[in-house]
A = this chain, B = another copy of it.
Amino acid sequence: MKKVNIFVTLRESILDPQGSAVKGALHSHGFPEVQDVRIGKYLELMIDDSVEDIDAAVNEMCQKLLTNTVIENYRFEIEEVAAI
């Protein structure tokens, strides 16, 4: 069994209003040291070992369904784990 951790973030050129709002809230809660906040998605997928090329499969899942590649970037890590 593989555990795949996927990190989806907005492209640098895309404005992140949610991130700006959280930055403002952190400042008003007494954390002025925070210079920038970017918010994205974090997905954990458990994938069984029936897949031959897991890199290709995860890339296809990300491009087809899990991200909007026009405005988002993604990267992932693959870990070997015991079956659930």
Count chain A residues whose beta carbon lies closer than 8 angstroms to a beta carbon of B.
Answer: 34
Please report which residues of chain A, range 1-22, place their CB below 8 angstroms from some CB of chain B when the two chains form the complex. 1, 7-9, 22
Contact, CB under 8 Å: A34 / B9: no
State the oligomeric state as a number of copies.
2
Contact, CB under 8 Å: A41 / B39: yes
Identify A38's interface contact among B39, B44, B64, CB under 8 A.
Answer: B44
- A25 to B65: give the CA distance in the assembly, Å: 8
Contact, CB under 8 Å: B22 / A34: no
Across the interface, which residues of B come within 8 angstroms of A39, CB to CB?
41-44
Across the interface, which residues of B come within 8 angstroms of A37, CB to CB?
43-46
A interface residues, Cβ below 8 angstroms from B: 1, 7-9, 22, 25-26, 29, 31, 33-48, 50-51, 57, 60-61, 64-66, 84
